Amino acid sequence: DAEITQSPRHKITETGRQVTLACHQTWNHNNMFWYRQDLGHGLRLIHYSYGVHDTNKGEVSDGYSVSRSNTEDLPLTLESAASSQTSVYFCASSDTQTDTQYFGPGTRLTVL
Amino acid sequence: AQKVTQAQTEISVVEKEDVTLDCVYETRDTTYYLFWYKQPPSGELVFLIRRNSFDEQNEISGRYSWNFQKSTSSFNFTITASQVVDSAVYFCALTAEGDYKLSFGAGTTVTVRA
């Protein structure tokens, strides 16, 4: 069955370190998205991609970057982790026919 | 700009009661899609339903039903005869055709007590 996976599921890091969160989907979807979820803020879009080599900034993109070298993967990089980036991160993918986004299980990131 | 409002922050019911979650949206697009997602305590986001703007038929799936009213820009969700397993945060979301990005509401936390 097609799926979307994220790794690691939990990560603790220190302020200033670079962190990369992986997202891999086997749906063969063109569209991929990264969100963060914080109490009181709901789901906020960080970056998104509509295809290979395409990346776009979402509403809370500062301090994050993504790259899309193939259809299956959209890794999210925190260039220099900050305590404000402690959050739960969700990756999602969708096709262009239905717009329905399917979410990965999430990564809980703690920045100390 | 698109906006989704879920005015109810929390709802608490006793098992077997019905519960209705409100979702009101704003969009200037004529073709758009509305969604509901469930986030149980385990944390994953589960897709429940997608409805396009041209289909105003109500939909029922088991104990879940959805009422889409374009005239009031609402897409409400009812759980009939609630069960403890329905306890979760429920999100309503909206996207315009060809946009692919979702605008989420803030979510409604439903607690079903035994």
SS3 A84: helix
Closest Cβ–Cβ partner in A31, A102, A106 for B100: A31
Using CA atoms, how far apart are residues B23 and B68, in angstroms rounded to an integer?
10
Distance of CA B35 to the CA centre of its chain: 6
Q: Which of A32, A43, A57, A98 to mutate to test the interface with B (most CBs of B within 10 A)?
A: A43
Q: Quick check: B82 pLDDT over 90?
A: yes
pLDDT in tens, B26-49: 999 999 999 999 999 999 999 999
Q: Quick check: A79 pLDDT over 90?
A: yes
**Residue A73: DSSP 8-state:** B
Q: Quick check: A40 pLDDT over 80?
A: no
Rg (CA), chain B: 14
Using CA atoms, how far apart are residues B23 and B67, in angstroms rounded to an integer?
10
Backbone angles phi, psi at A68, to 5 degrees: -130, 100
List CB contacts (< 8 A) between B50 and chain A: 98-100
State the average pLDDT over residues A34-41: 90
- Predicted confidence band of residue A112 (pLDDT cuts 50, 70, 90): very high
Using CA atoms, how far apart are residues A4 and A104, in angstroms rounded to an integer?
5
